[in-house]
Structure 1
């Protein structure tokens, strides 16, 4: 698959909970990689470019501190996988620095470590 990302992503294997905007149904998603501008995830269910999703993420820092955040992401691409009902999707975030400062700082630290 062609890499069309504007920003470098950091590998981060963890679970998230995703809820399509306006719905109460929540599904588990496996985060593949993340940046301060977006993330790649594997998820069940049909998603399309433009869908707005609420992402609830919990990560544990190197110091053992838990960061629990909720943020909205817009689907910028979605690809059906070979397994029925499985999708790889790319999400784009806006204003993470202002709305989710703890998660923003954690991801920035991961980005610096990867360089």
Structure 2
């Protein structure tokens, strides 16, 4: 899959599977390692507005393409690895949620915020 979002910035989240990613003319390598969203934190790629990107699946792959208006911030393409992500628990009892902050407020992005929320059954 490939794209160029024009005036929108993008965060590509490898929900499951592995794929070779490139953006802005840079090869970013083989990303992703979990085969289920319940197996740890995801790999992601931040792509600033107006930048070409592509992902070629190496295994079966579920890719979330998140976007928001860009503000011409001139930010670079960057890989966001699992070790770069913070996690927190919100709520309690049957309202417990496990939140992984992929692109939280305070990290370089024009207007995009991305989190992954796992809600246990029950």
Q: Could you say whether these structures have the same fold, taking a TM-score greater than 0.5 normalized by the shorter chain as the test?
A: no
TM-score by length of 2: 0.27
Give the TM-score normalised by structure 1: 0.28
Larger radius of gyration: 2
Higher helix share: 1
